[in-house]
Amino acid sequence: MKKYMGNKLAIFLFILPALAIFLIFDFIPILQVFAYSFTQWNGLTTPTFTGLENYFRLFQDRVFVTSNKNQLIFAILITVYQMLFATIFAITISDAKMKGRKFLRVAYFIPVILSVTVVCQLWSAILSGQGLLNKLFEAFGSDYTQNWLGDRYKAIYVIAFVNAWQWMGYQFALIVAGIKSISTDYYEAARIDGCTNAGAHRHITIPLLAETYKFCLVISLTGGIKAFTEMNILTGGGPNKSTYTLTYMMYNAAFKKSEYGYGLAAATVMVLECMIVMLVINFIFRDKDQRKEEERSRRKRHAD
C-alpha cells in the first residue's frame, strides 16, 4: 500500500502542471520584482545593477509621499465604511423574523459580482459633470453641482467610495457567514439572564466574530495599499498626479516611461507594506488570544 501511494512517477506527473504554471507565471515574477528593483532597466536591454539608487530616488519623489497618503486614505475609508455598514446590516438581517431578508442579501451582494470596470464606468457616468448626481442636485434646485472627480483634494475620497460601495457586500456576506456559525445557545442564555438584543450583540456577536473581522481588516487594508484599478479607470492618476498610488507609480514608470527598475522599486515597497500590515493585524489578534490564555492560567493559579 505504501508503495502504491508512493508511486514516484504518478506523484511527479500530478504535481508537475500546477507547480510549473505557478513557478513560471506567479513565483518567478515576484522574485523578479525584487531583483530588478535594484537595477536600471528599460524593459528591452539587459538590466544594469545600480544598488539602492532606485529606492533613494523613490523616497525623494514627491509622488511617493502622495501615493502613500492616498493609500492610507483609501484603506481607512473603505475599512470603516465596509465594516461599519456590513456589521449593521448583517446583525439586523440575522433576525429570522425580518421580512425581505433574501432580497436585501441579493441587493448588497450584486455589485460584488460585477466587473470592476463596469462599476467604475457606471460611477464615472454618475459622477461626471453631466452625470446623474449633478442632475439630482439640479432636480432639487441645489447648485452644489461639480465635477466630482476633477478636484485634486476630493478625488481620492470619491474613488475610495466607489471601491467601498462595490465591496461592502463582500464583507457583509463574510459577517453573515460568521454570525451563522455562532451557536444560538449563547443568545438563549443571554435572554434568560435578561440581556437586551443590543446587549447580546455587543457582548456575544461582535467578540465571537474576531476571526471574521481579522480577515475583513486584512482584505480592506491591503486592498487600500494595492489600490490601482479605480485610479486607472476613473482619473488616470490625476488631476495633477493627486490620485497616484504605488501600483499606479509602477504602472506609469514602466509602461509610460520605460523606467522598469524604478517602477519595480515602487512595487517592492507596496508588497512590503502589505506584508507589514498582515503581520501587524495577525500580531494584534494573536495578542488578544494569548492575553486571554494568560489571564485564564493566572486565575487558575489563584483558585489553587
Residues 135-154 that bind other proteins (CB under 8 A): 135-136, 139
**228: contact with other proteins by CB under 8 A:** yes
User: Residue from 42, 197, 290, 297 that binds other proteins (CB under 8 A)?
Assistant: 197
- 211 versus 294: smaller Cβ distance to other proteins: 211
- Using CB under 8 A, which of the segments 54-62, 73-81, 130-138, 287-295 binds other proteins? 130-138
Can you read off the three cell numbers belonging to residue 301?
493559579
Place of cell 456577536: 205
Q: Which of residues 70-129 bind other proteins (CB under 8 A)?
A: 85, 88-89, 91-98, 100, 103-118, 121-126, 128-129
Shortest CB 30 distance to other proteins, Å: 5
**177: contact with other proteins by CB under 8 A:** yes
For residue 136, what is the enclosing H or E element? helix 132-139
209 three-state secondary structure: coil
143 three-state secondary structure: coil
**284: contact with other proteins by CB under 8 A:** no
Non-local CB neighbours of 110 within 8 Å, separated by 6+ positions: 169
Q: Which of residues 15-34 bind other proteins (CB under 8 A)?
A: 15, 17-19, 21-22, 24-30, 32-33
Q: Which of residues 261-280 bind other proteins (CB under 8 A)?
A: 263-264, 267-268, 270-271, 274-275, 278
**187: contact with other proteins by CB under 8 A:** yes
- 23 versus 65: smaller Cβ distance to other proteins: 23
Burial of 131 (0-12, 13-18, 19+ CB in 10 A): middle
Q: How many residues belong to the site for other proteins (CB under 8 A)?
A: 114
**52: contact with other proteins by CB under 8 A:** no
**192: contact with other proteins by CB under 8 A:** no
**Contacts of the segment 100-105: beta carbons below 8 A, 24+ positions apart:** 105/172, 105/173, 105/176
DSSP-derived secondary structure letter, 150: S
Q: CA-CA distances (angstroms) from residue 65 to 68, 148, 249, 289, 296?
A: 5, 23, 11, 36, 45
